[in-house]
Structures are given as structure tokens and as C-alpha cells.
């Protein structure tokens, strides 16, 4: 939309392919919002420098304290330092130890490397040796340390509210087991989290041997059952697809946000970005979706359509493919009646996409998203098979996850058994099913009919309030375990710290039912894998101990990947898909689309304040969810952003604030899951509204027949970071097409050249050739999707505090990296929702060569280093904020309040000891991770060598799944950052101000189909 840029000449606007010049603008700027006009006049939003509820007496008190502290930035809290009685030989204070482990989300493992300082895990990176991590992570993994040290976790095993010891609980289970074994466990049920753990699979088998009539049911509120059912329709069995974008030149996404959603997201982001370098074989992406996603912002062509109507697009593209030579095998499917004949799919769009897929036969890919029903997945599989993509851009495996189905249909059988009185003991390890289950199941009331309910709980949440026994769950960073990646590769999950509170793992709880609950997960795990090593002949080192240690060190177990299959399309596919298509609902009513939240997922991260304060990658909303709708629908319904709207479907309803989202499908609203929490999750309670109250079991992702009604309640004010400063009609982000870029002429090249040519200076530039290093950064906008991983990685590395929704509303956010999102305005009266282009641009301190912040600081707190870093000396800062006022990039953050010491001692354990913890009253900003620079400098000096290119990675660079960020020394002519600074796409932000920033940007290049341009 828009962002802060200081005054200066207006640059030439961007023109693409002969169209009217484009401008990157926000809805508020275009509408001439009074708030925006106010923000343009002032550095900070209104009330940003006020103190909440400060009386005259309080003000005098604060002034007195300020006088007493003249010359100091802030007070420092007293701290106690307790030495080791005997220091472990491997521990050197100040030097982190690194351990390989994994984190399982939706059952699939993501390989991790964890920094541990004196026994405290503080920072997480991706494991380069893991097939799904490749050295990067998503926001969820970056936020894990804060979840570990969450002081609101479940801490005490309790039965009917009374504390219970673990051994007493084991004795209770043993007695219960004797009774259950009499009828083979006919009334024993386990409701479990989807899992790929080999150990858990073995324990499930052993439980069923002891209780042969017991049942395990997998459940996840965001399960992609459509994918499993679609594979079963296409191939006769529920195979799991694994995609490879390095072998896909043309990609058609059918409501698949594959860059920021799903277990493949990190790897697919890296692979997709590798194909976006401008060249003759640059990939092309078509996206069909109801609401704008990060994947949609990267699309070369995007089609907005309601979620339940994506099937119509899939049928249209398939029909066009069937017309192509050699693809007549699709004729039977193409001849099926249209699921929604009243839906008009852009025939030109479908024909162009189909032609592109055929041109790249064997090097193309059709991918369907988690929300789409089985019919769409089956059609995607059929198209991939006909195009020869199976075995290249997509492979299939069986048996990675224990259970193929984990959605509402899997849960329905258990619900019916409970309602019929067929369940006497229910063990729950699934994540908060009472909150996430479909509303018509009324699971919270049904649980009261079960005699014994045990819940392995990370927090005392909605499910914990409905069970008889709460068993505190161990966090992933304090657990032993195992899990598989999407290709089946197994990893050992090892703890980085002893359990902070009395807690156990899922394996411990299952082992209790076979009489081994006191062995501990470590012994269970090691015994299992020792048997596997012996059986498979994997022990390549003397004894199993050497093999075990090598697995722990590397983070993956070699030769455990599951071999892919080459399935054939089932002969009954046409009839099966035809039966499903006949059940697709007709159009004409407002549709509610439910979405996995990019921050709190299905609600499991609702208590993680880093993720709550993280701006949504599209809307930039913090601490909230919203009812997203298009401008056309909003106009018809007479709704504006912030209005409190009641959404009704039958006798169900929710009430929440509306947000008008450009590019959204008409006659549809999108609501993120995971909010409106209840229970003892302190920070997650009362934030947003619970969309699950609308979700029925028969339509968990898209449901029709909604009614919208604006209430009379006061308008809601979102905490949106995008609108805190105006960009004064400048265009900080540059985007163009591959065709125009390769033409070497046009307005884009003139614009880039204008933003890189040397400007006259009034002083002699510093000669850095006498220095060993000249640090700089380059950011490739063609590879940045705005996934927020860099923001979260920076916050975790640099001890960045959170400030809460109220402070975000008045411009006090503290994250050092800002991901600005801009829309194109083609000079028309309005944004074109059908041809909307979006670009995301990371902003952090630019480390300007002629930094405007440095010469206005009265105490020399912001200075320039010999190697070109713009440094902050925190102990000198007295909080004048002159530097922030003079920064044209608005990249500095001010500690208005004492955010850092307002948390519990346990929560402070996540802090990186190599980075200063800033208290109230000082300015802070990006430092190019100077602590990492100095650490590598020490290593290089000890070894008597220079720092190698790529040896230093900033936190944002290391975590970035797309590889969009590069850091290094410009004094090294062969360094990657030097090559990028010399690239013909490179330009400087606000070059006309002559700040000479060390962070350079590379213009985004799109690759649209000439037939659709």
C-alpha cells in the first residue's frame, strides 16, 4: 500500500508493456483519507509519544526520575549471577552450542539446528541436510523458543482438578487397563494428532495388540482430506504427493498457497525462487484463489474466484488440455457436465494456461490446495499424469503419515460412538479438538458422556476444561521423539533443555497403556531405532552408539526415505469424479471461506506473542483476524473497513470487524481460523473471534448461504503496520516484465538507471579500500513473497520486544524489519481487482554511507564504523528521536515503554546473550547482525585468515526460504553481494536523497504470458 519516505522529487512512474504508468498506492491514499494526510505531516502517528493514563502527579514523578537519570539512557534492573559449581567442559560462556533436531507440524518433520547458550535454546535455524528445510524455516519454527518459555503452559498433571503424580497416574492407567482388557478395549478410543513418527506408530501397534478392539482416530482442524481422497480416486489408494518446482517451468495453482502453507512450504519456496531469475527458461505461475495470498502476489497471472468455484476453472483448463494433440486421454473427464454451468470462467485465461502447460509438457505442474475437495485434487492428478509430470515435478508415496484422513469425516465416527455410549475411556493427544472440531459435533458437551477423558495438553485450553485428566505435554524443544519429512526421511527429535515443568510426550502416554510409561521416551526411542539399525544393517560405525551419535549430529537418518511410486490413473476415475461434481453447490449466495492463519495456524500458536504481533503478510493486521471481503461486495452490503459485521449461516453466527481486501472474490468472505480462544492461555484469550463457530462438518472450508449484517457497534480500529507512515507518492518498489527487461530500453530501465547513477557529493567519500571489509546487503524482490520469516528470525536473534495491539495502533511496533506491501494503481479511477499486481518489499536500516541520522544525534549515539556499518551505541542514547525524524526510510524503533522487563523470568530465558537487551528510552534498529560479524571475525583471527564470502549470514538472510537476501563484503570482487550490486536490476531506495544506502534492491521481474498481457 504505502510507506514512509521523506520529502524529495517525485520519480517517473512505472509503465509496463505500454500500459498507463503504474503507481504503488494504498486504498487510503487513493481515497484521500484524513488519517493519511495527518500521517504525512508528522513523523509518528497521532498519540505515538503519549503515555497511557498519565496523571499530573505521574507526569511530575516521571520528570523527577528523568532529572535523576540525566546522562543515562535508562535504568538497568538488578540481576543475580550464579556460577557453575563445575563448568561442563563443552560449555564456554559466550559461545553457543549447536544441536540438530526437528519439529513436527501436521506430523511432518522440519529439520532444525538450534543454538544453545549455557543450556538454554535461544535461536533456531533450518538444517541444510534436511530435505524439507534446506537451511531455512517458516515463522512457526522461528517462534518455537518463545513457546518453550511460555509461562502459561500447562504445568501440573491433574485428575478432576486435583494434582496427581506421574507414578500415581501410571498406577491409575494400569488399573484401568485391567478393566479395559476384559473386552479387548471395546470402549477405549484414542483421538490423536496426525503423525509420521515411527516410534509412535510402533506404540500404536502395541496398544492395539493389547486392546484389539480399541481404535485410533487422527484429527486436525486444518486437515487436507481432499488431497488424500483425490489421490484415492485417481490412483486407487491415498498416496501422498511431493512436488519439485525445480522441474516445473509452468505452474498452475488451484487455491494452493504453496509458498506459505503446508509441510512443503519452505522447500517449495526455495525451489520456486530458484526459477525466478530472469532468463529464457524463467518459470511462470498461474494462481486461482478466492483471497489474495503470498503465493498469489508472486503470480504472473492470477484469477480471483470463489473457493467452491475453483473446480469450474479446473474443468475448464482440463477441457482445453483435452483438445491438444496427445492428450485425448482426458476426453472422458472433459466430457463430464460442468459442476457449475452458471459460472463463467475466463475462456481466454483457461486456454492460455492450458497451452502453456502443454508447451512445458513433462516440466509443468498442476497443484491443488488443502482446502479444495477431492474432485479438484483428482482432476489435478489426471492433468499431471496426461502431461507427463508424474515422476518429475510430482512424485507419490504411501505410508508417510499413519492415517490418510484426519478431518471432520474421520472424527464423525468417533462422535457417533460417543453419542451412542460406546466410549468409556478417551485419550486425546490431538491439539485442542474441542476448539477445532466442527460446530455441529458439539464435542465439548459429548465429552461429558465419557467416563474417563485424558488430554495431553500444552496449555489449559478449551479441551482441557472439558476432560477429567490433564497431562501436561512436553514442548518439542524439551522432548525426545522422531518424525518423517515429506519424502519419508526420518529425523531424531532431541531435547535442548530439561523439561521446565513436569511434562511428558505422546510416546510416554501411549507407553503407559502397555506398561512402559516409566521407561521414558529416550529409552523407548533408542531401543526402537537400535532394532531398526540391526534389522536394516544401518550400523556403519563400531557399535550402535556411534551410529546413534551420527544421527543426532546430522539431524537426519540416512536411507530412511520412502521410495516413490509411479501410479497409473484408475479406470473408474471419470465415474467417481462425475459423482462428486454432481454434488457441487450452485452459486448465487454469499460464501464463507475459512483459511489457515499465517500466524497462529489453527490456534495452537495463539499464545505466542511474537506471532500475534507479526503483521499478516497481506493485510498487515496484527493481534486480530477479520472478515475479509471485496470492494464490490462491501459496496453492495454497505460495509466499510472496521465495521462490526454479523455473519450468519442458518442458526450459527459470528461477529467481527470487516476488512476490505483488494483482489478478493466477489460474493464471498474469508475468515482466518485460530482466534477467539478461551481458557487459560493468557495472551491468546479474547483476541479476534472464533470462526469455528460457523464451520460445519460437511463443508469445513467453503460454505454457502451466508448473510451479512452491519451492526451498530463502534467501528473497530485494527493494529495495522502498513499505514503508519506515508510514502509521499513515491515508488520504492520496482517491477517489470521479462519481455521489457530483456528489451534493454523503456521507462523501467530509465527508472533503474536514475536510481543507481552517482550523485554529486559535498564531502570526500570514505576510502574503504584500506579496510578489509565493506559490508553490504542485496535484496532480490523477485524472490520475496512477504512470508515474514525474516521478520521473525530478526526478532528472535535480536531480542526484539513486543508491544501489544494498543501500542501497535499508535505506531510503537518494534520489529526491526518491515515488510511493506504495495498494490498497483494503473492510473485508473480504481484498482483493477481482476488484474491486481502486488509486491512486497523488506525495509530495514539501509546502513547509509551518508546517513542522515548520524549528524543530528547530539550525543554521538549513532555512528559509522570503519567498515561501513551504521551503529547504535545504546548506552549513549538519551532518546531524543532526532535520528528517527531524520531517517527517510523510517527504519528506527523507539522503546517508548519498558517492554523488556514486563515479562516473567522464565520468558526472559529465550534472549540471545550476544545481543544487548534494550530498556526504555533508547532507539534501536537493524545492525546487520553485528554480533555475528564479530563472532566470525574472532574465528578468522584465531585461524589467521580472512572472513570468507558467505561465512557470515545475517539472521534474516539465513532464515529466508526464498534466498532473497544476500550479505557480504563489497571489497571482495567475487562475493555474491558484489555481483548483485553490479546486476542490471539493482537500484537504490530513495537514491535522489543521496544517502547512498548499503542495502540495494533488485527489481522484481514477472513472466506473464504474452497471450494474456
The closest alpha carbon to 296, from 1010, 704, 737, 787, belongs to: 787
pLDDT over threshold 60, residue 22: no
What 3 state SS string does 958-990 have?
Answer: HHCCCCCEEEEECCCCCCHHHHHHCCCCEECCC
- Element of type H or E holding 443: helix 443-446
Lowest average pLDDT, out of 541-545, 617-621, 710-714, goes to 541-545
Q: Which residues pair with 390 in a beta bridge?
A: 394
| pLDDT score of 825 | 61
- 46 — pLDDT class (breaks 50, 70, 90): low
pLDDT over threshold 70, residue 856: yes
Instruction: List C-alpha distances in Å: 76 to 44, 647, 903, 970.
Output: 27, 50, 15, 38
pLDDT in tens, 979-991: 999 999 999 999 8
pTM for the model: 0.89
C-alpha to C-alpha distance for 368 and 227, rounded to whole angstroms:
8
C-alpha to C-alpha distance for 136 and 145, rounded to whole angstroms:
16
The closest alpha carbon to 601, from 583, 581, 625, belongs to: 625
pLDDT over threshold 80, residue 921: yes
pLDDT over threshold 60, residue 36: no
In the predicted model, what is the mean pLDDT of residues 420-428?
93
Burial class (CB in 10 A: 0-12, 13-18, 19+), 29: buried
pLDDT over threshold 90, residue 114: yes
- 296 — pLDDT class (breaks 50, 70, 90): very high
Instruction: List C-alpha distances in Å: 954 to 595, 792, 936, 968.
Output: 32, 13, 12, 9
pLDDT over threshold 60, residue 569: yes
Lowest average pLDDT, out of 234-248, 418-432, 534-548, goes to 534-548
| pLDDT score of 60 | 46
Rounded to the nearest integer, the mean pLDDT of the chain is 86
pLDDT over threshold 90, residue 76: no
Contacts for 237-241 with beta carbons within 8 Å, 24 or more apart?
Answer: 237/398, 237/567, 238/398, 238/404, 238/405, 239/396, 239/397, 239/398, 239/565, 239/567, 240/396, 240/397, 240/398, 240/400, 240/401, 240/404, 240/486, 241/381, 241/394, 241/395, 241/396
Is residue 987 within 8 Å of residue 756, measured between CB atoms? yes
Contacts for 357-360 with beta carbons within 8 Å, 24 or more apart?
Answer: 357/250, 357/252, 357/317, 357/321, 357/383, 357/387, 358/321, 358/324, 358/327, 358/387, 359/250, 360/248, 360/249, 360/250
In the predicted model, what is the mean pLDDT of residues 888-892?
90
| pLDDT score of 74 | 35
C-alpha to C-alpha distance for 747 and 740, rounded to whole angstroms:
9
| pLDDT score of 200 | 95
| pLDDT score of 748 | 82
CA triple 140-142-148, angle to 5 deg: 85
- 415 — pLDDT class (breaks 50, 70, 90): very high
**DSSP secondary-structure letter at 141?**
H
| pLDDT score of 385 | 93
Strand order across the beta sheet in which 120-126 lies: 97-105, 108-117, 120-126
451: cell is: 467416563
CA 454 to the chain's CA centroid:
31
- 64 — pLDDT class (breaks 50, 70, 90): very low
pLDDT in tens, 311-351: 999 999 999 999 988 888 888 888 888 877 778 888 999 99
Lowest average pLDDT, out of 85-99, 169-183, 285-299, 952-966, goes to 85-99
Higher pLDDT, 177 or 132: 132
Is residue 572 within 8 Å of residue 580, measured between CB atoms? no
Strands 668-672, 162-163: parallel, antiparallel or unpaired by DSSP?
Answer: unpaired
**DSSP secondary-structure letter at 405?**
-
Burial class (CB in 10 A: 0-12, 13-18, 19+), 591: buried
552: cell is: 543426532
Is residue 645 within 8 Å of residue 676, measured between CB atoms? no
| pLDDT score of 595 | 94
309: cell is: 468455484
Instruction: List C-alpha distances in Å: 894 to 377, 857, 942.
Output: 49, 14, 37
483: cell is: 518424525
In the predicted model, what is the mean pLDDT of residues 606-622?
92
**What values do phi and psi take at 708, rounded to 5?**
-110, 135
pLDDT over threshold 50, residue 73: no
pLDDT over threshold 60, residue 879: yes
Is residue 169 within 8 Å of residue 159, measured between CB atoms? yes
Amino acid at each position: 500500500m504505502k510507506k514512509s519516505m521523506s520529502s524529495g522529487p517525485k520519480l517517473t512512474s512505472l509503465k509496463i508493456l505500454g500500459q498507463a504508468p503504474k503507481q504503488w498506492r494504498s486504498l487510503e491514499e487513493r481515497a484521500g483519507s484524513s488519517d493519511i494526510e495527518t500521517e504525512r505531516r508528522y513523523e509518528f502517528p497521532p498519540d505515538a509519544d503519549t503515555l497511557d493514563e498519565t496523571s499530573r502527579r505521574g507526569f511530575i514523578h516521571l520528570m523527577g526520575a528523568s532529572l535523576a537519570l540525566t546522562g543515562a539512557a535508562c535504568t538497568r534492573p538488578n540481576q543475580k549471577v550464579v556460577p557453575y559449581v563445575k563448568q561442563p567442559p563443552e560449555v564456554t560462556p559466550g559461545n553457543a552450542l549447536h544441536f540438530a533436531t526437528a519439529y513436527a507440524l501436521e506430523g511432518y518433520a522440519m529439520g532444525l539446528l538450534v543454538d544453545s547458550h549455557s543450556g538454554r535454546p535461544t535461536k533456531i535455524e533450518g538444517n541444510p541436510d534436511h530435505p524439507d528445510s534446506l537451511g531455512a524455516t517458516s515463522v512457526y519454527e522461528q517462534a518455537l523458543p518463545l513457546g518453550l518459555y511460555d509461562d502459561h503452559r500447562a504445568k501440573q498433571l491433574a485428575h478432576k482438578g486435583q494434582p496427581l503424580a506421574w507414578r500415581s497416574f501410571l498406577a491409575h492407567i494400569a488399573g484401568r487397563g485391567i478393566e479395559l482388557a476384559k473386552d479387548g478395549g471395546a470402549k477405549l478410543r484414542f483421538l490423536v494428532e496426525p503423525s509420521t513418527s515411527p516410534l509412535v506408530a510402533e506404540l500404536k501397534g502395541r496398544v492395539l495388540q493389547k486392546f484389539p478392539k480399541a481404535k485410533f482416530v487422527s484429527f486436525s482442524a486444518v486437515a487436507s482430506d481432499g488431497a488424500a481422497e483425490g489421490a484415492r480416486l485417481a490412483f486407487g489408494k491415498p498416496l501422498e504427493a511431493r512436488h519439485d518446482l525445480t522441474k516445473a517451468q509452468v505452474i498452475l495453482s488451484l487455491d494452493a498457497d504453496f509458498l506459505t502453507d503446508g509441510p512443503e512450504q519452505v522447500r517449495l519456496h526455495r525451489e520456486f525462487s530458484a526459477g525466478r531469475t530472469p532468463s529464457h527458461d524463467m518459470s511462470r505461475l498461474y494462481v486461482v484463489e478466492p483471497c489474495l495470498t503470498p503465493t498469489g502476489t508472486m503470480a504472473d497471472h492470477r484469477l480471483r474466484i470463489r473457493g467452491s468455484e475453483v473446480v469450474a476453472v479446473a474443468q475448464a483448463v482440463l477441457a482445453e488440455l483435452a483438445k491438444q494433440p496427445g492428450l485425448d486421454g482426458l476426453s472422458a473427464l472433459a466430457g463430464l457436465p460442468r459442476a457449475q454451468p452458471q459460472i463463467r470462467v475466463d475462456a481466454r485465461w483457461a486456454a492460455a494456461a492450458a497451452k502453456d502447460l502443454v508447451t512445458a509438457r513433462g516440466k509443468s505442474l498442476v497443484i491443488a490446495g488443502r482446502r479444495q475437495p477431492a474432485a479438484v485434487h483428482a482432476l489435478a492428478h489426471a492433468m499431471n499424469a496426461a502431461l507427463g509430470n508424474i515422476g518429475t515435478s510430482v512424485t507419490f508415496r504411501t505410508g508417510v503419515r499413519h492415517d490418510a484422513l484426519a478431518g471432520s469425516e474421520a472424527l464423525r465416527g468417533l462422535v457417533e460412538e460417543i453419542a451412542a455410549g460406546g466410549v468409556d475411556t478417551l485419550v486425546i493427544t490431538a491439539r485442542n479438538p474441542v476448539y477445532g472440531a466442527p460446530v455441529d459435533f458439539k464435542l465439548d458437551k459429548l465429552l461429558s458422556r465419557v467416563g474417563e477423558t485424558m488430554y495431553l495438553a500444552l496449555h489449559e485450553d478449551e479441551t482441557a476444561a472439558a476432560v477429567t485428566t490433564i497431562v501436561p505435554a512436553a514442548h518439542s524443544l524439551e522432548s525426545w521423539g522422531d518424525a518423517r519429512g515429506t519424502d519419508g526421511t526420518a529425523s531424531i527429535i532431541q531435547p535442548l533443555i530439561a523439561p521446565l515443568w513436569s511434562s511428558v510426550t505422546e510416546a510416554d502416554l501411549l507407553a503407559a497403556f502397555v506398561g512402559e510409561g516409566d521407561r521414558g521416551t529416550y529409552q523407548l526411542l533408542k531401543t526402537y531405532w537400535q532394532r531398526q539399525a540391526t534389522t536394516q544393517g544401518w550400523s556403519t560405525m563400531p557399535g550402535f552408539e556411534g551410529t546413534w551419535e551420527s544421527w543426532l549430529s546430522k539431524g537426519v537418518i540416512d536411507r530412511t526415505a520412502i521410495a516413490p511410486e509411479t501410479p497409473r490413473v484408475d479406470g473408474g476415475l471419470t465415474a467417481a469424479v462425475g459423482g462428486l461434481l454432481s454434488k457441487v453447490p450452485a452459486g448465487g449466495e454469499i460464501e464463507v471461506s475459512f483459511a489457515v492463519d499465517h500466524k497462529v495456524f489453527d490456534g495452537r500458536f495463539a499464545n505466542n506473542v511474537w506471532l500475534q504481533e507479526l503483521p499478516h503478510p497481506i493485510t498487515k493486521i496484527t493481534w486480530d483476524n477479520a472478515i475479509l471481503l471485496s470492494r464490490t461486495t462491501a459496496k453492495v452490503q454497505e460495509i466499510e473497513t472496521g465495521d462490526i459485521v454479523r455473519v450468519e449461516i442458518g442458526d450459527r453466527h459470528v461477529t467481527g470487524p470487516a476488512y476490505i481486501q483488494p483482489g478478493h472474490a466477489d460474493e464471498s468472505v474469508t475468515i482466518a481460523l485460530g482466534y477467539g480462544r478461551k481458557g487459560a492461555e493468557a495472551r491468546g484469550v479474547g483476541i479476534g473471534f472464533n470462526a469455528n463457530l460457523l464451520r460445519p462438518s460437511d463443508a469445513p472450508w467453503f460454505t454457502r448461504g451466508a448473510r451479512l449484517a452491519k451492526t451498530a457497534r463502534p467501528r473497530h480500529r485494527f493494529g495495522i503496520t502498513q499505514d503508519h507512515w506515508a510514502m509521499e507518492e513515491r515508488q520504492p518498489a520496482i517491477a517489470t516484465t521479462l519481455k521489457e527487461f530483456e528489451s534493454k530500453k523503456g521507462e523501467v530501465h530509465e527508472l533503474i538507471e536514475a536510481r543507481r547513477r552517482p550523485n554529486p557529493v559535498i564531502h570526500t567519500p570514505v576510502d574503504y579500500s584500506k579496510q578489509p571489509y565493506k559490508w553490504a546487503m542485496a535484496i532480490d524482490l523477485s524472490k520475496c513473497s512477504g512470508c515474514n520469516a525474516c521478520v521473525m528470525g530478526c526478532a528472535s536473534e535480536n531480542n526484539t520486544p513486543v508491544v501489544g495491539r494498543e501500542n501497535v495502533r499508535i505506531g510503537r511496533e518494534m520489529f526491526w524489519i518491515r515488510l511493506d506491501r504495495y498494490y498497483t494503481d494503473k492510473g485508473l479511477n480504481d484498482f483493477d481487482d481482476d488484474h491486481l499486481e502486488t509486491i512486497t518489499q523488506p525495509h530495514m536500516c539501509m546502513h547509509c554511507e551518508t546517513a542522515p541520522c548520524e549528524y543530528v544525534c547530539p550525543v554521538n549515539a549513532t555512528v559509522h564504523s570503519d567498515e561501513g556499518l551504521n551503529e547504535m551505541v545504546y548506552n549513549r542514547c538519551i532518546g531524543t528521536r532526532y535520528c528517527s525524524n531524520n531517517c527517510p526510510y523510517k527504519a528506527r524503533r523507539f522503546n517508548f515503554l519498558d517492554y523488556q522487563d514486563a515479562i516473567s523470568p522464565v520468558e526472559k530465558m529465550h534472549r540471545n546473550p550476544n545481543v544487548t537487551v534494550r530498556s526504555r528510552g533508547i532507539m534501536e534498529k537493524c545492525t546487520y547482525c553485528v554480533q555475528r560479524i564479530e563472532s566470525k571475525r574472532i574465528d578468522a583471527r584465531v585461524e589467521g585468515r580472512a572472513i570468507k564470502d558467505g561465512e557470515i549470514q545475517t539472521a534474516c538472510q539465513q532464515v529466508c526460504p526464498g534466498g532473497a537476501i544476500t550479505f557480504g563484503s563489497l571489497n571482495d570482487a567475487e562475493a555474491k553481494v558484489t555481483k548483485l550490486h553490479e546486476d542490471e536490476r539493482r537500484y537504490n531506495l530513495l537514491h535522489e536523497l543521496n544517502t547512498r544506502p548499503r542495502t540495494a534492491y533488485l527489481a522484481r521481474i514477472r513472466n506473464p504470458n504474452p497471450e494474456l498481457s
